[in-house]
Amino acid sequence: MVSAREPAEAFTPTEAEIEWARGCTQDEHHLLELVVWLKSY
């Protein structure tokens, strides 16, 4: 059984991931898309 904490830990982006994605994108829309893609890959 998976606890509620496990998915939150796995799929919540870290500050480092957000900063990396921010450096790869030019606007907030693309930032969101890239972070979602990263965390679901």
The percent of residues in the chain predicted with pLDDT above 70, rounded, is 100
State the pLDDT confidence band at 41, using cuts at 50, 70 and 90.
Answer: confident
- Find, among 27, 24, 26, the residue nearest to 38 by Cα: 24
What is the pLDDT, as a whole number, of residue 16?
97
pTM (whole model) above 0.85: no
State the pLDDT confidence band at 2, using cuts at 50, 70 and 90.
Answer: confident
How far is Cα 7 from Cα 22, in angstroms, rounded to an integer? 23
How confident is the model over 10-29, as pLDDT tens digits?
999 999 999 999 999 999 99
Question: What burial letters (b/e) apply to 11-37, b meaning 16+ CB within 10 Å?
Answer: eeeeeeeeeebeeeeeeeeebeebbee
Output the DSSP codes for 4-21.
Answer: SHHHHHHHSPPHHHHHHH
Q: What is the DSSP letter of 33?
A: H
